[in-house]
Amino acid sequence: MNAPIGSGPSVHTGRFAGRKAVVTGAAQGIGLAVAHRLVAESADVVLVDRAETVHEAAADLGAHAVLADLETYEGAESAVTESLARLGRIDVLVNNVGGTIWAKPYEHYTPDEIQAEIRRSLFPTLWTTRAVLPHLIEQRSGTVVNVSSIATRGINRIPYSAAKGGVNALTASLAMEAAPYGIRVVATAAGGTDAPPRRVARGPAPRTGQERHWYQQIVDQTVASTLMKRYGTPEEQAAAICFLASDEASYITGTVLPVGGGDPG
């Protein structure tokens, strides 16, 4: 069922020629698919991740790797500083870090788990955007593409939903502030995506029958809400992200594009 990286929607060779791009959460999944497509479309790319496997992923692409924990501002700032040292400038930032850690009804989350979900799926986007923004303002150009989720309306992952709702709000509000500087801020709302098995797990796998049932409820609700009745592929997500990052979307800002087979989220 999984499509190999690099397959799917046709690439547009040369679309990002001369452009410098940073992709976070790029060691696997959607982030890696975005990095593949950007490189295929002639961008000079930095892959950022806190997993050591980012070095291998970047080497396979002939791209740059930066190891950083974007759940802290210090990590985000160091990632941007190192990316600028590698690239000289940043034209595109793709904020892709995030993902549900636990799957269960809200009343079963502990306070620590709620905070962990917010740190995972909201703060990396807040911190990395804040770290790169002065550079984009100084050069008076740039595009920030945030990866949100249709799960802002969904079951058994309320803290994650709240975090992605924050990403949507950041997208809309920062677009207003940044437009006078020639900066666009946009987002995709990714639907269920059938990515290859993760090399680094987001969190603990369901251990009990009840936990497996709660996770299956997410899958069932996602497919039921999706008009196309299937999960997407990382390449389908990457195609939409790269479109928004490109000059083809030059008159689009402050918008969250659902990429969920008809589920608006």
Taking 50 as the threshold, does the pLDDT of residue 5 lie above it? no
Question: Would you state the pLDDT for residue 195?
Answer: 78
Whether 1 shows a pLDDT value over 80: the answer reads no
Give the whole-angstrom CA distance, residue 258 versus residue 265: 7
In contact, 5 and 30? CB cutoff 8 Å: no
Q: Please give the pLDDT value at position 9.
A: 75
pLDDT band at 218 (very low <50, low <70, confident <90, very high): very high
Residue 243 contacts residue 252 (beta carbons within 8 Å): no
Residue 47 pairs in a beta bridge with 23, 65
210 burial class (0-12, 13-18, 19+ CB within 10 angstroms)? exposed
* Burial class for 4, CB neighbours closer than 10 Å (0-12, 13-18, 19+): exposed
Task: Please report whether residue 76 resides in a domain.
Answer: yes
Which whole number is the average pLDDT over 126-131? 98
For 214, phi and psi rounded to 5 degrees? -60, -40
5 assigned to some structural domain? no
**Over 70: is that where the pLDDT of 199 sits?**
no
Q: Is residue 98, in this structure, part of any structural domain at all?
A: yes
Instruction: Confirm if 159 and 123 have CB atoms less than 8 A apart.
Output: no
State which residues form the domain around 188: 20-259
What per-residue confidence (pLDDT) applies to 2? 39
Q: Is residue 11 part of a domain?
A: no
pLDDT over 80 (residue 202): no
Tell me the average pLDDT across 176-202. 88
Kindly state the average pLDDT of the residues 20-38.
98
Assess if residue 10 is contained within a domain. Answer: no
Flag whether 66 is in a domain.
Answer: yes
* Helix extents (H) in 42-157: 53-61, 73-87, 111-121, 123-139
**What are the tens digits of pLDDT across the range 31-89?**
999 999 999 999 999 999 999 999 999 999 999 999 999 999 999 999 999 999 999 99
Residue 137 pLDDT exceeds 70:
yes
66: CATH? 3.40.50.720
The catalytic position among 73, 106, 109, 160 is: 160
d(CA 192, CA 250): 27
Judge contact between 80 and 51, C-beta under 8 A: no
Whether residue 265 lies inside any domain: the answer is no
Average pLDDT, the chain: 94
**Domain membership flag for residue 14:** no
pLDDT at res. 11:
86
The number of distinct structural domains making up the chain is 1
**Is 160 noted as a catalytic residue in this protein?**
yes
Of all residues in the chain, what percent carry a pLDDT higher than 90? 90
